[in-house]
Amino acid sequence: MKSPVDPKPTKRADADGTPKTTPRKGAAPRAKDGGAPYGARFSGIQKIPLGAKLVISIIVLLSVGTVSISLSIRQLVNSYMLQRTDSQLLQQAELVFKNTTLLNDTKSTADSNSFVSYYVQAYDRQTCSTYKLLQPMYRDGVISRPLLPRGGGLDGHEIAVPYTTPAVVDLENVKGQPDHETMVMAQAPWRVVALRWVSDSANGTIEPRGVIYIGLSLGNQVDMIDNLTRFCVIVGVAVVLLGGVISAITVQRTLSPLKRIEKTAAKIAAGDLSQRVPDAPEGTEVGTLAKSLNTMLAQIERSFRQQQATTEKMKRFVSDASHELRTPLAAIHGYAELYRMQRNEPGQIERADDSIAHIEASSARMTLLVEDLLSLARLDEGHGISITDHIDLGSVIRESVDDLHALDPERDITTGVLGLDVSEPDHLQLSMTPGELPSVMIVADGTRLHQMVTNIVGNIHRYTPADSPVELSLGVLGIDMALDELTSLASEEESLQAIVGAAARFTVTQRGMMVSVARFTDHGPGVPPDGLARIFERFYTADPSRARQKGGTGLGMAIAQSVINAHRGFICATESPGGGLTFTIVLPLAPDEAES
């Protein structure tokens, strides 16, 4: 069988017969010149750290900016100086031509030729003669003049339009060795304008005579532009260096939170999930990133801790279940052996019947334990419960009161309406007003709800004295709290106080939801303080030996909590005032009941 992708390149011929290789599918594209793939060319850039990339980018931008500004300034100043030179030539051309004699006298008597910077040459077409009317001279006898066309021509230039022409340097009358500065000035180009030379004729008319060339050296302008260029280069280099240093420091300080995030991530990767990213100012990208990472890390740590707790809980559950199942199994096995040994002995029938009774009791206990385990497993999986019935919670609790009366006729049972006590604002609490239990409708699974109430009342019957008083109360409260927030509360007294606080806020804001609150209070021996946090654990009993004697499996409260969680409610156990145990249950109302 052929492979779907041929690992070897295929060869085909071009039109001229030259073999041509077709690259195989999936191969990286290569450059036309046969070099490395395009992706490989940029792999080196991708390896550069982010801080270095930012600094390099800033330096490149500063360099391009300074070069662009320097060239713009040079061009602007050069154009401006050239316009001034042209304006000076055009405005003073006639004045200079008429005063050439005076200017030559000034040049000959002055120590410096700075007063004379014009070059004036006239061409007389009548005599075909050229006259140098004015010639500036530089230091040490260096002479510079513009390169002009012969015979009074224009070489394509226009009359009265200035143009630039190269310089012609004359060193015949030089005294000594000219310095560099003088030679640079002498070699600078000239700006020249050609004008028509006219004169008055004998009959009073004006007739053309020739062409006059007037020029100004651009040496000073070139020197100023060169100095300006050097200044811009020095300033540009200083700006780039200073900008590079400042940008490196700024980038390093800006990216320092990312470095801390990197170190924190390394610690988290090593297994320390308690680490958090250092906070940064809000509104910044790093601050937003740090906040998001800390939120994510908190969720990860919480999930990891929950997974650990679930794993430990499962291990403990399997161990406790094995232990609880082993006890009745061992009893059944032992009494079965005893029965087999006694059944054929004379006079041992009564003892054999006693062994059968123990076997039956142990099997019944094991059956109850297995049924409770099955109920918990189905509740954990979300099966075995149907929250579709409209149930009167008050009626369910009244039935449990009747059952408790039948089991303990001597017990004093008080019922009432549960409400919020706001008499002490600093100490908000739930209080009961004695009376009949109200009717409160909720949407629930009737069978599971009866099972949950039966488990709580059954614990009161098993583990409290038969003559100890009991209070059962029910009421409706509004709480300023979302349903998801309610279901996320832990089964502890602090969460109950949070619900009471939310009920107090509801009286002001009138925002939130309506819930039913049921409370079961006994005044028995209670449980140890550390037992309140573990009372909903599976197989937990304050006294395992008493639990077996009373017929308990240690799963009743775990089943009750699972039922409440399935109804998206809340349950917790607290110590009763004066001693004992109080269970508080919060369940959402039916929609129609909440609206009423």
Greatest mean pLDDT among 297-306, 367-376, 543-552 lies in 297-306
HEC string for 301-328: HHHHHHHHHHHHHHHHHHHHHHHHHHHH
Q: Is the pLDDT of residue 7 over 70?
A: no
Return all residues near 499 (Cβ < 8 A) that are at least 6 apart.
479, 481, 486, 489, 570, 586
Contact predicate 487/513, CB 8 Å: no
Pairwise CA distance, residues 239 & 236, whole Å = 5
Q: Please give the average per-residue pLDDT across 61-70, as a whole number.
A: 92
Specify the pLDDT at position 553. 61
Q: What would the mean pLDDT of 243-259 be, rounded to a whole number? A: 85
The mean pLDDT value for 52-79 works out to 91
Higher pLDDT, 151 or 235: 235
Beta strand ranges found along 298-421 (DSSP E): 389-392, 413-421
Residues 573 and 352: their CA atoms lie apart, in Å, by: 45
pLDDT in the model for residue 476: 94
Least confident piece of the model among 60-74, 194-208, 437-451, 557-571: 194-208
Q: Give me the pLDDT at residue 36, please.
A: 52
Instruction: Name the phi and psi angles at 551, rounded to 5.
Output: 90, 10
CA 439/CA 567 separation, integer angstroms: 19
Residue range 89-114: average pLDDT? 61
Q: Give dist(CA 397, CA 585) in Å, integer.
A: 12
pLDDT at position 126: 77
Task: Return mean pLDDT, the chain.
Answer: 79
Residue 204 confidence (pLDDT): 64
Q: At 531, is the pLDDT very low, low, confident or very high (cuts 50, 70, 90)?
A: confident
At residue 428, the pLDDT reads 85
Which of the residue ranges 23-37, 108-122, 279-293, 481-495 would you say has the lowest mean pLDDT? 23-37
Helices in 408-543 by DSSP H: which ranges? 446-463, 483-487, 493-509
Compute φ and ψ for 343, nearest 5 degrees: -65, -30
pLDDT of 548 higher than 70: no
Full-model pTM = 0.49
The proportion of the chain whose per-residue pLDDT surpasses 90, expressed as a percent, equals 26
Is the pLDDT score of 494 beyond 60? yes
Lowest mean pLDDT among 96-110, 284-298, 302-316, 317-331: 96-110
pLDDT band at 400 (very low <50, low <70, confident <90, very high): very high
pLDDT band at residue 595 under the 50/70/90 scheme: low
pLDDT tens figures, 332-365: 777 677 677 666 666 666 666 777 777 777 777 7
Better-predicted residue by pLDDT, 183 or 10: 183
Q: What average pLDDT score do residues 203-218 get? A: 81
Judge whether 477 and 536 are in contact, CB under 8 Å: no
The two tokens of residue 93 are 């051309």
pLDDT bracket for residue 51 (50, 70, 90): confident
In this predicted structure, what is the pLDDT of residue 343?
Answer: 66
pLDDT of 361: 73
> Would the CA dihedral through 360, 365, 366, 372 be positive or negative?
positive
pLDDT score of 345: 66
C-alpha span between 536 and 554 (Å, rounded): 9
The answer to whether 522 and 400 have CB atoms below 8 angstroms apart is no
What tokens appear for 233 in the block? 């280069």
Task: State yes or no: pLDDT of 13 exceeds 60.
Answer: no
Calculate mean pLDDT across residues 299-318.
75
104-108, 155-159, 282-286 — which one is most confidently predicted on average? 155-159
Highest mean pLDDT among 169-173, 210-214, 505-509: 505-509
Q: Which position has the higher pLDDT, 433 or 296?
A: 433
Residue 241 above 90 pLDDT?
yes
